[in-house]
Amino acid sequence: MSAPRDGTAPAATPTTTPVTGTRAPTASRLRKEQAILKEAENQFAVFGFEGASLENIANAVGISRHNLLYYFPSKDVLYRRVLDDVVFGWLAGMEDVWREQTDPVKALRSYIHGKLRSSFERPNAAKIFAKEVIAGAPRYADVIASSVKPVLDQEVQAFERWAQHGLVARMDFTHLMFVIWTVTQAYAEHQAQFAILLGKPALDETDFERAEEVITRLVLSGLGQKVD
């Protein structure tokens, strides 16, 4: 997923923003919110929405459940805020990839690299999103439809422009993006299995580099690009 800044896609806006009144939040409040969000991301990734508890999240941060509810008034609000950070982080992190990019090879190399870096550096983000989607997106379908869909449309339009100029082979570009999302995020969602099969305790940066080489080669070859 990426977020072009050509004015045609709506700006990505988090669905849940803590109410802080008319004054800007203090640095102390922001630090506490970030600590809560980081721990919530860990626990939602492991236990899912139903299994994670506000008590355990609060205890891990060193505050009471009541105090946590001062920052995030419900479990649902906290969960959606975590997903906001995940999804809009993906979008913002990729915003320059497709913007005014005329070279499909450079764009795709950059895109795949960025997606895999995200899986390597923040695997719990992909795991939370995967759990929500596997469950049918009961708490986040509205954001996927309103914010991710327009960005996907922009990406597909970029492929269509390249195809019209004979720069890539024509295929169903929507499903191509689904494949790229799936395979890059799999290195976060299934990293334990992959590590076991590779006979190591965990995937390391070299594994992600090798995955990037394979995925990039497959995608570019499928689009009719010569790969060195």
| In the predicted structure, residue 224 carries a pLDDT above the cut 70 | yes
Q: What is the mean pLDDT of the chain?
A: 88
Q: What are the angstrom distances between the C-alpha of 91 and each of 12, 16, 62? A: 8, 17, 31
CA distance 7 to 150: 11
Conformational region of residue 48, where left means phi above 0, alpha means psi within -120 to 50, and beta covers everything else: left
pLDDT of residue 159: 93
pLDDT of residue 93: 62
pLDDT of residue 102: 79
Question: What structural domains and CATH numbers belong to the chain?
Answer: 23-73 (1.10.10.60), 82-222 (1.10.357.10)
Nearest to 75 by CA among 95, 89, 58, 92: 58
Confidence of residue 148 (pLDDT cuts 50, 70, 90): very high
Can you say whether the dihedral through the CA atoms of 211, 123, 150, 85 is positive or negative? negative
CA distance 174 to 111: 15
Amino acid, single-letter form, for residue 42: N
CA distance 140 to 87: 10
pLDDT of residue 28: 86
